């Protein structure tokens, strides 16, 4: 039988994903500065995605703590959940569900806490107030063996502070804010949540010996390492119905600092153990496999990068996970689906990833920004050539020159390359949002692949809503300041 990306699949909670195509979580940079609810720009952007029949649409990270933002314009879980607080989130869920094709996309809210990766100045705290983290270890402190150490140290120092070690009370507060986030999602009509425990954010920090040197019950010893995640998931399951979808995003090998093959395989064994533990809880619907953090942002590698000049960055590991979870006899009462994200770039590879059992679900991030209508394009392709062997193996989404040039310009400071590359996608998302606000039936504007790096970065930061003119001056000042900070980091 030929595997098909349009086959539906059932999640352990009983909900059905209509097809295997998942729009991955992507921070939109569209909320107001210092974070807030979704607004008209989010509705515009998600209206476009909702038109095209994605199986699941994951929102960009919604922060559970207003004091731990990523780039400052994050969506944030409100501190109270009264009718007024819910309204903008209800609208977002309705927009995602409101596509005009026959499939019913699942709307999933990604919940996140940036922990030590919440940047200085724009992280939602007064300047120089440290973020919370499992231990007082600054981002960058663990990147030994990096040949560009001096430059990357400077960048990390400019952007991040030494975090404050969390007390048990801080831990309990964070746990209850994740539960509030899940209640927000449930009450406002989302089908589920995804807990972000990847990319070096707080929950990944708890599971990683390079950022967690605690000696208490939240340490990284085998019996403690997944405790923080477990307590959050357990508390969420207690307040939402059994049909509410709960997913987790996790890294394939977080523990690699030297880059040696031995350390990499040790890291993979560790994370495989974590995945087995998570599956044994019997309450998780899907596990998304990604990789990297701000010190080593593998998740956003681009085709131009030498090491990762291939498709599906984490496919090998996700295949191991699939085999392990389905070994005979199946070891768990309910087996989470595996969502693979990162570098899925061509139609033929999407099919191949299913056929080779690398994944049950296929996450597409940057490709979904360039090609929001990818599911529609693939449906047409399927009508024309029924078998996956006939599928096109050319990339469905071109990478912007900005991202490729950035990865070459500052190859040793990968975080800055990541920032430049992300800026292009952020502006593209905004362009789509604006065009949808003007005319929700319009096609998205064509992508500008040749935009320069500095102009891209400037446009990202110096953006304001024309209808709120009083904010113009302060936002331009912020834009220029951010450019200066990044430039100091690069130099």
Ligand X SMILES: Cc1cc2nc3c(=O)[nH]c(=O)nc-3n(C[C@H](O)[C@H](O)[C@H](O)COP(=O)(O)O)c2cc1C
| Residue reference for tokens 């095209």 | 52
Query: Cβ of residue 222: shortest distance to ligand X, in angstroms?
Result: 26
Smallest gap, in angstroms, from Cβ of residue 343 to ligand X?
Answer: 5
Contact of 278 with 234, CB cutoff 8 Å: no
Q: Which of residues 422-441 bind ligand X (CB under 6 A)?
A: 422, 425-426
Separation of alpha carbons 489 and 409, rounded Å: 13
Which is closer to ligand X, CB of 327 or CB of 394?
394
Q: Which stretch binds ligand X (CB under 6 A): 19-27, 142-150, 151-159, 451-459?
A: 19-27
Q: One symbol per residue from 329 to 348: x for binding ligand X (CB under 6 A), - otherwise; what is it? A: ------------xxxx----
How many residues form the binding site for ligand X (CB under 6 A)?
24
User: What would the x/- binding string for ligand X be over residues 223 to 252, using CB under 6 A?
Assistant: --------------------------x---
Spatial distance between the Cα atoms of 331 and 412, rounded to a whole number of angstroms: 43
d(CA 44, CA 431): 10
The mark string for 297-326 relative to ligand X (x by CB under 6 A, - otherwise) is --xx--------------------------
The residue within the footprint of ligand X, chosen from 51, 125, 358, 366 (CB under 6 A), is 366
Give whichever of 177 and 305 is closer to ligand X, judged by the CB atom. 305
- Residue 175 pairs in a beta bridge with none
Nearer to ligand X, 118 or 224 (CB): 118
CA–CA separation, 344 and 353 (whole Å): 9
> Dihedral (C-alpha) 403, 408, 411, 417: value to the nearest 10 degrees?
-20
Cα separation of 489 and 41, whole Å? 30
According to CB under 6 A, which one of 181, 304, 367, 372 is a site residue for ligand X? Answer: 367
As measured in angstroms, the least distance from the Cβ of 158 to ligand X is 21
Q: Residue 224 or 250: which CB sits closer to ligand X?
A: 250
- Closest to ligand X by CB, 290 vs 388, is 290
Output the CA–CA distances (angstroms, integers) from residue 216 to 135, 221, 228, 312, 398, in the order listed.
11, 10, 12, 37, 48
* Rounded least distance, CB 314 to ligand X, Å: 9
**CA–CA distance, 136 with 256 (Å, rounded to integer):** 20
Q: Which is nearer to ligand X, 60 or 372 (CB)?
A: 60
Binding mask 76-115 for ligand X (x = CB under 6 A): ----------------------------------x-----
Phi–psi pair at 165, nearest 5 degrees = -65, 135
* Window 135 to 194, contacts with ligand X (CB under 6 A): none
**Binding residue for ligand X (CB under 6 A) from 63, 211, 290, 436?**
290
DSSP characters over 410-474 = STT-HHHHHHHHHHHHHHHHHHHHHHHHH-TTSPPPPP-TT--HHHHHHHHHS---TT-GGGHHH
Is 38 a binder of ligand X (CB under 6 A)? no
Q: Toward ligand X, which CB reaches closer, 417 or 479?
A: 417
What are the structure tokens assigned to 241, written together?
């119905």
**Which residues, other chains included, contact 135 with Cβ-Cβ below 8 Å and sequence gap of 6+?**
163, 165, 211, 212, 213, 214
Residue nearest to ligand X (CB): 365
- The residue (of 219 and 251) whose beta carbon lies closer to ligand X is 251
Q: Which is nearer to ligand X, 106 or 219 (CB)?
A: 106
Q: Which of 5, 11, 24, 433 binds ligand X (CB under 6 A)?
A: 24
- 61 lies in the binding site for ligand X (CB under 6 A): yes
Question: Token digits for 434?
Answer: 């604006």
Sort 193 into a burial class: Cβ within 10 Å, 0-12 / 13-18 / 19+.
Answer: buried
Residue 33: strand, helix, or coil: coil
Count of positions (residues) in the chain: 491
- Would you say 91 or 249 has its CB closer to ligand X? 249
The answer to whether 38 and 60 are in contact (CB under 8 A) is no
Binding residue for ligand X (CB under 6 A) from 5, 11, 22, 26? 26
Could you list the residues that contact ligand X (CB under 6 A)?
Answer: 24-27, 60-61, 110, 196, 199, 249, 290, 299-300, 341-344, 364-367, 422, 425-426
């Amino acid at each position: 039988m030929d595997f098909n990306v349009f086959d539906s699949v059932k999640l352990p909670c009983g909900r059905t994903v209509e097809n295997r195509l998942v729009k991955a979580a992507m921070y939109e940079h569209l909320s107001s500065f210092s974070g807030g609810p979704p607004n008209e720009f989010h509705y515009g952007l998600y209206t476009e995605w909702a038109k095209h029949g994605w199986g699941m649409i994951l929102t960009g990270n919604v922060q559970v703590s207003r004091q731990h933002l990523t780039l400052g314009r994050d969506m944030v879980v409100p501190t109270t959940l009264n009718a007024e607080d819910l309204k903008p989130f209800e609208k977002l869920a309705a927009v995602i569900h409101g596509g005009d094709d026959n499939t019913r996309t699942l709307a999933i809210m990604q919940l996140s806490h940036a922990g030590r990766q919440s940047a200085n100045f724009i992280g939602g705290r007064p300047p120089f107030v440290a973020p919370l983290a499992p231990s007082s270890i600054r981002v960058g402190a663990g990147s030994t063996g990096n040949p560009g150490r001096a430059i990357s140290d400077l960048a990390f120092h400019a952007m991040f502070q030494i975090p404050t070690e969390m007390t048990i009370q801080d831990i309990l507060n964070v746990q209850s804010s994740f539960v509030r986030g899940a209640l927000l999602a449930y009450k406002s009509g989302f089908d589920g949540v995804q807990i972000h425990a990847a990319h070096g954010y707080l929950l990944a920090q708890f599971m990683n010996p390079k950022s967690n040197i605690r000696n208490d019950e939240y340490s990284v010893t085998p019996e403690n390492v997944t405790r923080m995640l477990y307590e959050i998931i357990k508390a969420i399951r207690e307040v939402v119905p059994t049909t509410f979808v709960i997913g987790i995003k996790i890294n394939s090998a977080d523990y690699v600092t030297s880059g040696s093959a031995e350390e990499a395989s040790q890291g993979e064994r560790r994370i495989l153990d974590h995945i087995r533990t998570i599956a044994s809880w019997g309450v998780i619907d899907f596990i998304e496999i990604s990789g990297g953090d701000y010190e080593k942002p593998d998740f956003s590698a681009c085709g131009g990068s030498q090491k990762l000049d291939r498709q599906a960055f984490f496919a090998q590991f996700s295949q191991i996970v699939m085999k392990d979870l389905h070994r005979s006899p199946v070891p768990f009462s309910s087996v989470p689906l595996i969502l693979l994200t990162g570098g899925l770039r061509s139609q033929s590879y999407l099919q191949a990833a299913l056929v080779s059992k690398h994944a049950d679900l296929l996450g597409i991030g940057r490709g979904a920004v360039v090609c929001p209508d990818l599911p529609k394009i693939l449906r047409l392709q399927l009508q024309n050539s029924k078998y996956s062997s006939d599928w096109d193996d050319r990339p469905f989404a071109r990478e912007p020159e900005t991202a490729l040039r950035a990865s070459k310009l500052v190859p040793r400071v990968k975080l800055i390359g990541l920032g430049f590359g992300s800026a292009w996608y952020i502006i593209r998302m905004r362009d789509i949002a604006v065009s949808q606000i003007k005319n929700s039936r319009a096609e998205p504007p064509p992508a500008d692949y040749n935009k320069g790096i500095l102009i891209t970065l400037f446009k990202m930061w110096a953006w304001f809503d024309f209808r709120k003119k009083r904010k113009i001056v302060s936002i331009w000042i912020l834009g220029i300041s951010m450019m200066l900070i990044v430039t100091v980091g690069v130099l």
